[in-house]
Amino acid sequence: MISNDQSASRGRRPAVVHRLSDAQEVVTGRPARVLTGDRPTGALHVGHYFGSLRNRVALQAAGAELVVVIADYQVITDRDGVGPLRQRVLSMVADYLACGIDPNSAVIFPHSAVPELNQLMLPFLSLVTVAELQRNPTVKSELADSERPLSALLLNYPVHQAADILFCHADLVPVGRDQLPHLEMSRTIARRFNDRYGQLFAEPTALLSSVPLLLGTDGKKMSKTRGNTIALGDSEDATAATIRGAVTDAERHISYQPDQRPGVSALLEMGANCLGTDPPALAASIGDGGAGRLKRVVTEALNEQLRPIRARRRELLAAPDLLAGVLVDGIATAGAMARTTLAAVRTVMRMDYLA
Ligand code: TRP
């Protein structure tokens, strides 16, 4: 789907890399700026932890500069209101810090609080066509999953996401496969902007997670509304109850067969992630123990892995002023970045006629 050839031949950055070290080679001379984003629609869960949060902490430890956008405007791409946003956003910040993201060096902020970031969307919208947006496979599948008519925001949110990425000149964006079309949109916008007005934006590179998508306890896509996942903030008892309720089968011999036994295999993946082993090896160690034994092992492994994170999370939630302070600092830093970028955009576009 995405070709590197053209970019390589013109000395551009690759569209996709799989390791920070590959990206760091492209950046050279300074730490890579890594940008990630989350929609605050519900509690972060083990899928986020194994798929993304752990990786962010590792990237930070490897010297990357981390910017985390809490994409609160993206909440209303497919619903009527933003929901209990303060509570969700503070809980998200608690999850980040509890997992080990260092707030002293990371910039964590909600994009609604940075007007200059949002204003970038106007010139960016002029660089893409409605037909291109209508072809976006992720938007198409989100539309297919929804009972609503296509809103202009759902159609245009990949352009808004380009503003999330380009406002801080991100080098690297760790994403799952579903987000690649949005990354491609950001690259297109950067390129067209530069061609039209003069070189300003480097094309961001996707850092594609090597961790396969973790499925929920029923073997289907994880989602809080399906009740098939475990939130980082769930209690040990709630974790045990969710896993007890997981969909398995009557066969006593435990084996890793994602296609034939999706529920059993999803549990094996969760357990293997915690225990640092792989799902077939975990299956072999359970052998003829049946679903009951599998569930006990996975519950124990998850609760063990999450125990320190949960303890830290509880402490953080008891200090909402500290969490809000992280956001206030993040908004100040992100605001300064966005103002610099918007000023440069207006300059190259020759819109700074009153300056
Ligand atoms: N669309 C992303 C998701 O649903 C969240 C997001 C918003 C994002 N802005 C971003 C991801 C910028 C990466 C970069 O997961």
Q: Is the CB of 72 under 6 A from ligand 1?
A: no
CA 41 → CA 73, 87, 88, 269, distances in Å? 11, 11, 7, 25
Largest CA distance in the chain: 76
Q: Is the CB of 36 under 6 A from ligand 1?
A: yes
| Distance (Å, whole) CA 250 – CA 291 | 8
Q: Which atom of ligand 1 is nearest to the CA of 39?
A: 5
CA–centroid distance, residue 293 to ligand 1 (Å): 37
Q: Which of 112, 179, 189 to mutate to test the pocket of ligand 1 (most atoms within 8 A of CB)?
A: 179
> Which residue stretches of 277-353 are H helix?
279-286, 290-317, 320-348
pTM of the entire structure? 0.92
**Per-residue tens of pLDDT for the chain, all 355 residues:** 334 444 443 457 899 998 877 777 767 788 999 999 999 999 999 999 998 999 999 999 999 999 999 999 999 999 999 999 999 999 999 999 999 999 999 999 999 999 999 999 999 999 999 999 999 999 999 999 999 999 999 999 999 999 999 999 999 999 888 899 999 999 999 999 999 999 999 999 999 876 767 889 888 888 877 889 999 999 999 999 999 999 999 999 999 999 999 999 999 999 999 999 999 999 999 999 999 999 999 999 999 999 999 999 999 999 999 999 999 999 999 999 999 999 999 999 999 998 7
Phi and psi at 67, nearest 5°, equal -120, 125
Rounded to 5°, the CA angle 165-194-203 comes to: 40
Rounded to 5°, the CA angle 181-182-183 comes to: 90
